[in-house]
Amino acid sequence: VAAMPKRFENVTEDEFRGMLINPDRLKARSGSMPSAPLKETNDPTDPLPAQFDFRDEYPHCVSPVFDQGSCGGCWAFSAIGMFGSRRCAVGIDKAAVLYSQQHLISCSTENFGCSGGDFFPTWSFLTQTGATTAECVKYVDYGSSVAAACPTTCDDGSQIQFYKAHGYGQLSKSMPAIMQMLVSGGPVQTMIVVYADLLYYAGGVYRHTYGPISNGLHALEMVGYGTTDDGTDYWTIKNSWGSDWGEDGYFRIVRGVNECRIEDEIYAAYFE
């Protein structure tokens, strides 16, 4: 299903590109970022469920869909989303805690603020420095293309408290490994190539059909998988374009064919 969502009615093509990650920035650095292998458990004696949706399995852990605005901070929204989801899934947080995208955008100096970011420096920051809560540092870059300065205190002047991930790594591109990681610990972070037709997505299973030129890369939180009644396998993805876009802020994309490179680079964090 395709329709121009209200969210993008007055957004120019350049403004839309500004919300995405410029692949040239990441290319300039590729090779310098080692990938930490993740311990993957794929025990064939424990068959994977035919479908999984984090929202159904862990309703108390689900945070709202956010809107990154004009800041190209999708890398931080998806990382912080996964950080909170997985902390809650393992029981460290008893319910969804909203962690601060803004602190990560402003303070992770190896990334590019509102001009994009990459998974390795992001998770390096979240394991070494950590995240703080959105109550401490609220999101202020909605209407900006330049990140706010890194805060030294919470918005109310109190001391910042940090919560760290214990480790992270990149998953192999095997379908069972990705599915197993979702089922066993909750959402993972992924990145896709964005074409114009994603903008118009309004429901169903997305498959790139028009718009030959890539607008850039977009980082997302993968929260589940399933198969439609007509047999189409899909991943369920949480976006950061607000809840008015797509299926209440989420979308489904074809699974198993590396659609828009969705299966190329997937990261998970762990907390034990």
Give me the CATH number covering residue 159.
Answer: 3.90.70.10
Least confident of 118-122, 199-203, 208-212, 225-229: 208-212
Task: Flag whether 221 is in a domain.
Answer: yes
**Given pLDDT bands bounded at 50, 70 and 90, which one contains residue 12?**
confident
> Which residue is catalytic, options 71, 136, 218, 260?
218
Q: Tell whether the model's pLDDT for residue 268 goes beyond 60.
A: yes
Whether 34 is in a domain gets the answer no
- Domain-embedded: residue 218: yes
Considering the candidates 88, 111, 136, 239, report the single residue annotated as catalytic.
Answer: 239
Catalytic: 111? no
Domain total of the chain: 1
Q: How many CB atoms lie within 10 A of CB 61?
A: 23
Is 90 contained in some domain?
yes
- Domain holding 180, by residue range, is 6-25+48-270
Q: Is 243 helix (H, G, I), strand (E, B) or coil?
A: coil
- Is residue 39 included in any domain, yes or no? no
Asked if the model's pLDDT at residue 41 lies above 70, the reply is no
Is residue 218 part of the annotated active site? The answer reads yes
Give the closest residue to 6 by CA, choosing from 217, 220, 200, 210: 200
239 is catalytic: yes
What is the number of other CB atoms lying within 10 angstroms of the CB of residue 209? Answer: 8
pTM of the entire structure?
0.91
With respect to residue 249, please indicate whether it lies within any of the assigned structural domains: yes
Does a structural domain hold residue 105? yes
pLDDT score for 30:
47
Q: Is 219 helix (H, G, I), strand (E, B) or coil?
A: strand
Helix or strand run (H / E) with residue 17: helix 13-18
Q: Which residues pair with 237 in a beta bridge?
A: 222, 251
Residue 241 lies in a domain: yes
